Amino acid sequence: MGDSDTENPVAKPLSSAQIGLYSSFVVPLTIVSLPLAAYLPKLYGELGINLALMGIVLLVARVSDVVTDPIIGTLSDNTRSRIGRRKPWLIFGALPLMATTYLLFVPPDDVSLGYFIAVVILTYLAFTIVEIPYYSWGAEMSGNYHERSRITATRESFRFFGFLLAALIPAISQEAFGVTELRDQVFFLAIGICALMPIVTILANVFVPEPKIPETPIQRFTFEQYKKGFRFMVRNGPYVRILIGFTGTVVGTTVDAVVSFFFCEYVLLAAASYQIALVGMMISAMMALPGWLYLSKRIGKHKTFVVSVVWYVSCAMLMPLLYFVPDWSGGGFIALQTLKGVCAGAIGAMAFSMAADAIDIDTIKSGEPRTAFYLATWSAAQKIAAAFASFLGLTLISLFGFDATLEAGLSQAEGGNTNLALIGIVLLYTVIPSCFYLVTLPWIWSYSLTEERQSKIRERLERRQIARHDDLAGVNEASMKPIAGSLDHGISDAGGSE
């Protein structure tokens, strides 16, 4: 990025290549996150770590993000450097994340619980150091209503590509190198992460500009900053609405994911179709995002979010019908799971884009750029929601009497699970996630920050940024004075507490 880029306080239009290079950074982050949930419990369980203790460690480490995420966000917001506020965190955080990920994915033979606790905490911390500034950078790359959706949609495409790689690397290592042990397959994942991270870090930081934020005095980190940020946040009506709405979908999706394999194996008796269905879901999520982006330009982001929620619920409620067509249950599961994936990327893309729009309200009212603080709170809320949903799904499935050690396809008299247990799996895979999705609709439907209102806010915000930039350059000393009271009057309907 040249000096001319850093001198302009208003973000310039971005090329497709720049958005793609920025989005590529999410691929290794995604590959890190999937094995944490899917592979490591089994890997460390085989090495002698108690599963119950492992679950407690993972839960406590994730809950601790409620504290660390806003701290990292505030520190990133207050960072000042020649290359920006976000890039230094990505550059200096990439190496610790590579190191801790390798230590976590490639444990020694005589691994102890203390080792597991240490590397999990360090990995989560390194992940937060990189993740919060990265997503904050994306929210600040453009102030344009539709270009923000383009950025988040492209990033979601790369995120699902990361999920696809995380699923395919073990399979490829098995087919190409004859690697059958889970420990060796996870080793290949660690190597893939360590190989990709330096490449995408260099590409994103060298070729993608970070918008110049007008200089403000750096404040010492205090608890007062915490309280001040939260006071503005809870009064930001559109942000609160999209936060609640997206959190509801995270809970529903996580409950769905926890029991999805059990539904496929024990209810449909089609375990062989599960991996194929996952691949189909990821591919359809990537391919459908341009269509959702087009729809958002026609009807708006919040209505597109609503359509994607209805799409998910429709696909989920069709799943139980596959039980009555056993000859087609495997193929039907692949088809419906692929169709369900069509909306998966849209929900995240619209939610992040809407959140970035809502953060502008705080910036213009408070006069302080707090993007990372907002997204850190957003991240912490999603992590807590996912942890709660995992606990809810596993607890409820146990209360229904399901036993994963019993063979699928056997009746209770033959030593299999009870009908009540199977009904419980169906409810947890279809009805309960759909309920969490549906309760988000009132919050999202009344989201008030439309394209017209957001454009007015951006115009006024950019005028303020230009005035502050000119004042710092000695061009217009008077332009640092607050904009007239009509500014707040013009956005009060969008930004007030709802």
Contact between 357 and 147 under an 8 Å Cβ cutoff? The reply is no
**pLDDT for position 392:** 85
Contact between 111 and 415 under an 8 Å Cβ cutoff? The reply is no
Q: In order of start, what are the domains of the chain with their CATH numbers?
A: 1-211 (1.20.1250.20), 226-498 (1.20.1250.20)
Helix, strand or coil for residue 300?
coil
**pLDDT for position 79:** 87
Structure tokens at 207: 């070729």
Contacting residues for 166 by C-beta, under 8 A, at least 6 apart: 30, 31, 34, 35, 189
Q: Which amino acid is present at 414?
A: E
Each of the 498 residues of the chain gets a pLDDT tens digit; together they read 444 344 444 456 789 999 999 999 999 999 998 777 667 877 888 888 887 788 778 778 878 888 888 889 888 988 888 888 999 999 999 999 999 999 999 999 899 999 999 999 999 999 999 999 999 999 989 888 999 999 999 999 999 999 899 888 887 887 788 887 888 888 999 999 999 999 999 999 999 998 876 555 445 556 666 677 778 888 899 999 999 999 999 999 988 988 888 899 899 999 888 888 888 999 999 999 999 999 999 999 999 999 999 999 999 999 999 999 989 999 999 999 999 999 999 999 999 999 999 998 888 887 777 888 899 889 889 988 888 888 888 788 888 988 877 888 888 788 888 999 999 999 999 999 999 999 999 999 988 888 888 888 888 877 876 676 666 555 444 444 444 444 344 444 444 443
d(C-alpha 498, C-alpha 495), whole Å: 8
Contacting residues for 321 by C-beta, under 8 A, at least 6 apart: none
Between CA 226 and CA 228, with CA 227 as vertex, the angle to 5 degrees is: 95
Helix, strand or coil for residue 138?
helix
**pLDDT for position 431:** 95
